[in-house]
Structure 1
Amino acid sequence: MTEGKVMNRWLVVMGAIMVQMCLGAIYAWSVFTGALQDAGWTAAQTQVVFSVALVSYALSMVGAGFKLNTVGPRNMAILGGLILGTGYVIAGLFGGTNFWILLIFIGIVGGTGIGVGYVVPIAVGMRWFPDKKGLITGLAVAGFGLGAMLWVKLAGSMGNLIANFGLGTTFIILGITFAVFVTIGGMFMVFPPEGWLPAGYTPETSSAGGTSSVAVEFGAGEMVKTPQFWMIFFTFAFLASAGLMSIGLMQLYPMEALMANGMDRVSAMAVAGTAMAVFFSIANAAGRVVWGMISDVLGRKNSMVILAFSQGLVVMAFTYMAGTPALLYLGATLIGFNFGGGLALFPTLTADTFGTQSVGRNYPLIFLAYGAGALLGPNLGGILGGMGKFGMAFTICGILCLMGGILTMMLRAPEKKTDEAVEAEMEAA
């Protein structure tokens, strides 16, 4: 263990949550859509900006992961916050309602800032907490989700920024806030000293999906050539498809099911809205922390198998639950809990399989599966739902989750390259 004074590692957690809460701005976009439509935007235009932001976020995350060790986590986090904040401020300075300005500065620039900063708290947190990787990753990604709720409330019903100041000034206020708080949180985004370990912690040799650190790391180029990479990738894509399809239909489909069971439209809308806004959302945030903690005890592989199979069964059963309020709330809670949990388990499963030191570079490539799931699940739900076949959509996505569980059961530790080879690759990058 490295001698000398070492920063309190819980400061890293505080900084990580601060960073992630600001980066969660991407999921607060819906709070602006009403005002934009009042300004003459179509519903499709509002979704184009959101979609472009998601794509920019995913793609820039890959590039940032490859440069994390070169630029340094502190600089990378601060850079992400400044890019995000700058995008929102410039969008606000131009009035906040011009489609092309928002597409460029919130969709492309803002999305890029989120991707640049996102992987930093995950990579840094795992280095400081090799004994609690699941918990720390869960807290970080929960901060991302809770941040969206904070900005929605601040801009909308509680802070009333949009109502009191208009879109332009609201974007400027949020942009400055993001830049300041990510910079403050980013100051704590540093890797621990070389060779440092928590007191009393002894690393163990790990099998894929175990709870301990692996001493030998995979570079990204080597990782993508392994079957283990594709097993994790497709499992992530399958689970993301089911979760994102459920999000897209969580209000529309239950409304139809409730009205088919005799409930009036106004009451059905209220019940379905509660299922999404309360039960799903809270469970989504809680699942990220709880599943992370569970994985520290059971191991990442065992936890992922349980999550995938339980999600598959619940998603398939949802068509029988959606028409009864109590069962609808239960289904929304379980789907949200598992959906959020997956976002905590996949970074740690990646680290346990391919190495904690390389997770900043490797996880962004795994995360591209989330984008694949975003294309598959919602579109499948939209097409089949438009044909009145909601049950088929949920059944297909439930089967995909079960397939992900089977893939995870088959996961074994890949052969790992030597530390010297990885160091040479990093120096060459």
Structure 2
Amino acid sequence: MATQISNRDRLFTLLGTIITQFALGSVYTWSLFNSQLADKLSEPVSRVAFSFGILSLALAVASSLSGKLQERFGVRKVTICSGLLLGASLLLTAHASNLILLYVFAGLLVGFADGTGYLMTLSNCVKLFPERKGLVSACAIGAYGLGSLGFKYINMYFLTNTGLENTFNTWGVIAMVMVILGGLMMKDAPKQEQQNTAETPVRDYTLAEAMKCSQFWMLALVFLTVCMSGLYVIGVAKDIGESYVHLPMAIAATSVAIIAVANLSGRLVLGVLSDSISRIKVIAIALFICLIGVCALLFAHQSTVSFYFAVACIAFSFGGTITVFPSLISDFFGLNNLTKNYGLIYLGFGIGSIVGSIVASLFGGFAATFYLMLGLLVISFVIALTIKLPGSPQDNLPAQPIMA
């Protein structure tokens, strides 16, 4: 029998996860620091900004390893250590005197600390609410998205009033305290009993077993596609508006706010929807919306309205997909090994964060990446419409949400 955990402990774990995710989401304020770090280090902004690419890769790698750490030490200890490392890394970043140290402190260490806490606490919380996986994912990942918005104002205030180094110090202390507090509230999810019904996989898949299934790699491609599309457009939206759509700087910069609202809306709307209809259908909806956005960039008459519409579609799809995917992976391969199984697929987040920029650099501009996004989205949409659950007679059924 599965170990029982009280409703009080479940709710405290959910609250602790939300607090932790909010603090971990603060790393997405990184663009606020690029210009001042460039001045301090006497380096081009482009080289300083590359630290965020390193951070994204380290975050994805750490996420893939966090399941093993939880198995050995438990969610509470690993989360607390994640908070300590995040705080220490930001304090060290304040005193980075050259580009290499910045890449190590702000890239590798901050990314590793953030990734260790992010996926593990999310997966653990989802396991505690198997009947409301979509809603719980929306709450946790929504908090992660809100963290970037909340800390934008916190970090901007301190940047304006206390300077660069003090801002990193203050940010580090606040984030560390929040992650540690959240970790202290958490309990490890008990091992789930596998229900042998027509709507769920007949067993849990280990990572090795899941990797032998074609569905695992098809879902990995879908995740990579949406992450590449979302992260690329989110990262260079202002530049797309100015250079590709030929909008004034102020109008192009407004896309940042539109993206933030659309991203959060996607997390909440599609996350909640995934508890009512098949999660793979929700992913198909997200892919279709993203496809419309990319087509608007490539084929619509370029204007302020078409640009805002396109980036909103892509951000909505990205936010919804990363919210629904943990629960989707549990539908396909079971809950008990979710952190490991989703952890490997989550590497697509790190890869996707740099692929779009590489393609644009090699082939001379935004359009090349947009066409790559278009092709991958079409393939992913077909996958979402046709993929079946792995294993025996269930192969003939599409993935369904596990309902209470």
| TM-score greater than 0.5 by the shorter chain | yes
Q: Which residue does 2:111 correspond to in 1?
A: 111
Instruction: Name the CA distance, whole Å, in 2 between partners of 1:243 and 1:322.
Output: 22
Structure 2 residue 391 is matched with structure 1 residue 412: no
Instruction: Please list, as runs of the form range in 1=range in 2, the aligned pairs for 1:4-43 lying within 5 A after superposition.
Output: 5-7=6-8, 9-39=10-40, 40-43=42-45
How big is the shift at 1:322? 6.7
Match of 1:364 in 2: 343
Task: Report the counterpart of residue 154 of structure 1 in structure 2.
Answer: 154
Q: State the shift of 1:320 in Å.
A: 4.1
Taking structure 1 as the reference length, what is the TM-score of the superposition? 0.84
**2:60 aligned partner:** 58
User: 2-side partners of 1:124 and 1:37: how far apart?
Assistant: 39
TM-aligned CA deviation for residue 121 of structure 1: 2.3
Contact residue 97 and residue 167 of structure 1 kept, 8 A? no
Q: Kindly tell me: are residues 237 and 258 of structure 1, through their superposed partners in 2, closer, same or farther at Cα, counting changes over 3 Å?
A: closer
Corresponding residue for 1:324? 303
Query: Could you tell me how far 1:5 is from its partner in structure 2?
Result: 4.9
Deviations 1:95-145 (A, max 9, x none): x55433332222222111111111122212212211111111122112222
AA matched with 1:401 = L
3-state SS in 2 of match to 1:29: helix
Change in 2 beyond 3 A, CA 1:325/1:84: same
Q: 1:89 aligns with which of 91, 106, 123?
A: 91
Q: What is the 5 A alignment of 1:117-128?
A: 117-128=117-128
Task: Give CA-to-partner distance per residue, 1:234-278, whole Å, 9 cap, x none.
Answer: 11112222223322442223324554xxxxx6xx22221112x11
Could you say what secondary structure the match of 1:250 adopts? helix
User: Does 2:227 correspond to 1:240?
Assistant: yes
Work out whether 1:399 is the aligned partner of 2:388: no
Distance 2:386 2:5 in 1: 44
How many angstroms apart in 2 are the aligned matches of 1:5 and 1:144? 25
**Aligned residue pairs: how many?**
390
Distance 1:166 1:367, change over 3 A: same
Q: Classify 1:281/1:195 alpha carbon distance in 2 versus 1 (closer, same or farther; 3 Å).
A: closer
Other-structure match for 1:340:
319
SS of equivalent to 2:276: helix
Select 2:357's aligned residue among 378, 383, 393.
378
Whether the 8 Å contact between 2:129 and 2:136 is mirrored in structure 1 is yes
For residues 329 and 378 of structure 1, the distance between their equivalents in structure 2, rounded to whole angstroms, comes to 21
Mapped partners of 2:198, 2:3: distance in 1: 23
Q: How far 1:371 sits from its partner (Å)?
A: 2.2
The residue identity in structure 2 corresponding to 1:351 is S
* Contact 1:24–1:146 (CA under 8 A) maintained in structure 2: yes
Query: 2: distance between equivalents of 1:391 and 1:91?
Result: 35
Whole-Å separation in 1 of the counterparts to 2:351 and 2:3: 42
1:187 paired residue among 179, 184, 187: 184
Quick one: distance in 2 between partners of 1:311 and 1:287?
Answer: 11
C-alpha contact (below 8 Å) 1:123/1:359 kept by paired residues? yes
Change (3 A) 1:337 1:135: same
Mapped partners of 2:385, 2:191: distance in 1: 34
Could you say if the C-alpha distance between residues 75 and 131 of structure 1 is closer, same or farther in structure 2, counting changes exceeding 3 Å? Answer: same
CA distance in 1, matches of 2:111, 2:28: 11
Post-superposition offset of 1:166: 2.1
- Deviation larger for 181-190 or 47-56: 47-56
Looking at structure 1, the residues matched to 5 and 59 of structure 2 have their Cα atoms a distance apart, in angstroms, of 38
Equivalent residue letter for 1:68 = Q
Check 1:166–1:341 CA distance in 2 against 1; reply closer, same or farther (3 A cut). Answer: same
CA displacement at 1:11 relative to structure 2: 2.6
User: Whole-Å Cα distance in 2 between the matches of residues 187 and 242 of structure 1?
Assistant: 36
Distance 1:204 1:395 in 2: 43
Q: CA shift at 1:28, angstroms?
A: 1.3
How far is the alpha carbon of 1:361 from its aligned partner?
1.5
Deviation (angstroms), 1:4: 8.4
SS of residue paired to 1:298: coil
Task: Check conservation: 1:245, 1:380, Cα contact below 8 A.
Answer: no
Deviation at 1:230, TM superposition (A): 0.4
Equivalent position of 1:270 in the other structure: 250
CA RMSD, aligned part only?
A: 2.5
Separation in structure 2 between the aligned mates of residue 102 and residue 376 of structure 1, nearest angstrom: 22
The residue aligned with 1:299 is: 278
CA distance in 1, matches of 2:53, 2:120: 23
Query: Alpha-carbon deviation of 1:6?
Result: 4.1
Partner amino acid, structure 2, of 1:28? T
Where does structure 2 lack aligned partners over 5 or more consecutive residues?
A: 393-404
Q: CA deviation at 1:398?
A: 1.8
Amino acid at match of 2:77: N
Counterpart contact for 1:19–1:181, Cα < 8 Å: yes
Please list, as runs of the form range in 1=range in 2, the aligned pairs for 1:62-73 lying within 5 A after superposition: 62-73=64-75
Alpha-carbon distance in structure 1 between the residues aligned to 2:389 and 2:7: 33
Q: Percent identity?
A: 27
Q: Indicate whether 1:137 and 2:140 are aligned.
A: no
The CA distance in 1 between the partners of 2:198 and 2:279, in whole Å, is 11
User: Residue type matched to 2:239 in 1?
Assistant: L
Letter in 1 for 2:208: G
Q: 1:38/1:322 Cα in 2 relative to 1: closer, same or farther (>3 Å)?
A: farther
For residue 91 of structure 1, report the CA deviation from its aligned partner: 3.0
Q: Any idea what the Cα deviations from partners look like across 1:371-412, whole Å, max 9, x if unmatched? A: 2322322322344453xxx44542331221121111222322
- Indicate how the Cα distance of structure 1 residues 187 and 256 shifts in structure 2: closer, same or farther if over 3 A, else same: same
Pair 178,45 (structure 1): closer, same or farther in 2 beyond 3 Å: same
- 1:187 counterpart letter in structure 2: L
